[in-house]
Structure 1
Amino acid sequence: MSQYALKKEIIGTAAEYIVKASEGIEQIIDFFQSGGEDIATRMMVDLIEGIEWLVQAIEGTRDIHGKYSPDISQANSVLTEITEAYENMDYVLLSDLLEYELLPIVNLWQEQLANIKGVLDNDNAAE
């Protein structure tokens, strides 16, 4: 498999995963807001690992993104704040950070990854 084909596959996987990540964030927010902190904090571990993988996938495929390249730097400060709120067991702040900071970033990335995937799929169809 060529480097390009591998990167295209990673973009496809990332585009599929980010939909699930967005839904997962919404579930975690709901659990935090309804008193289900135990479930929400367990889900947070998977979410953070998933976001870290997404950042690596985006960074590792940057050379084929074209004009839709997601800005991963915007997530760094949010992830730091989320980590601090998580460590301090500040579930209200954590829920707010997820809802008003991380979710908009993930939704933007979702749109950008779908656009990248669409362009890459169309490029291959033209060959």
Structure 2
Amino acid sequence: MENTKQLVNETIETLKEYIPKLQNACNDITEALQTNSHSTALQLIGQFSEGMDWVSEANILLAKLNVEVNIEELTNINGFFKEINSALSIEDYVLVADLFQYEVKPSLDKVNEAL
């Protein structure tokens, strides 16, 4: 039981440290796209996606341990990724930048507040 409590606390603390990094990544991606550094932006988007996978896995782990961390915004962010992928497929980098700046980052702000 003590190990479970420790795991929960460590996971939440790691989330608290990690979410701001994802928020900063949104800014970096937006800036790279706005300055036509598309290859850099694509690399950052890949890293961001991996980071979001970890956040989702951590949320699933917490749910399995019956710890309710109300970060339903993750569902919204996953929905935005569908839009981002569609925009990337037609090379609409303005839309991708807008999605990171005006949709994904504010959702991450809400996730951060929920923690």
**Fold shared per TM-score above 0.5:** yes
Deviation at 1:87, TM superposition (A): 2.9
Structure possessing the higher radius of gyration over alpha carbons: 1
Unaligned runs of 5+ in 1: 114-127
Structure 2 counterpart SS, 1:89: coil
> Which of the numbers 80, 83, 104 marks the counterpart of 1:102?
104
1:21 is aligned with what amino acid?
Answer: L
CA distance in 1, matches of 2:99, 2:43: 17
CA distance in 2, matches of 1:53, 1:83: 19
Give yes or no for contact 1:32–1:91 (8 Å, CA) kept in 2: yes
> Which of the numbers 78, 81, 103 marks the counterpart of 1:79?
81
Unaligned runs of 5+ in 2: none
Residue by residue over 1:43-93, the C-alpha shift from the partner in whole angstroms, topping out at 9 and shown as x without a partner, is 11000110111122122213223xx51103222211111122223322111
The normalised TM-score by structure 1 is: 0.79
The normalised TM-score by structure 2 is: 0.87
Question: Alignment length, in residue pairs?
Answer: 111
Which residue does 1:34 correspond to in 2? 35
> 5 Å matches for 1:47-62?
47-62=48-63
Structure 1 counterpart SS, 2:71: coil
RMSD: 1.5
CA distance in 2, matches of 1:86, 1:47: 15
